[in-house]
């Protein structure tokens, strides 16, 4: 795992709403989850690779 996409590195970024650690699942499942959450107009997702891939989920500002 590289230093740039480790869960510890993700935790140091600006306060995401969620960090999803997948464990031992297929890459297709990880991509499906990322794409499904990414369809929300209120969420932004970033799938970070490496040996232990994680999905960072952040709330997108709402114009109310």
Note whether residue 64 is domain-resident: no
Mean pLDDT of 1-10: 52
Six token digits for residue 13: 């970024």
Q: Which residue has the higher pLDDT, 27 or 11?
A: 27
pLDDT digits (tens, 9 = 90+) for 41-55: 999 999 988 778 899
Note whether residue 19 is domain-resident: yes
1 band by pLDDT with thresholds 50, 70 and 90: very low
Domain count, the chain: 1
pLDDT of residue 3 exceeding 70, the answer is no
Note whether residue 30 is domain-resident: yes
Enclosing domain of residue 36: 3-59
pLDDT reported for residue 4: 56
Query: Got the DSSP string for 2-55?
Result: -GGGSHHHHHHSS--SEEEE--S--HHHHHHHHHHHHTSTTEEEEEE-SSS-EE
């Amino acid at each position: 795992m590289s230093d740039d996409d480790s869960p510890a590195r993700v935790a140091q970024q600006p306060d995401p709403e969620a960090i999803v650690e997948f464990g031992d699942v297929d890459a297709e499942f990880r991509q499906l989850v990322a794409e499904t959450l990414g369809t929300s107009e209120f969420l932004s997702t970033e799938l970070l690779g490496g040996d232990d891939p994680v999905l960072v989920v952040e709330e997108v500002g709402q114009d109310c």
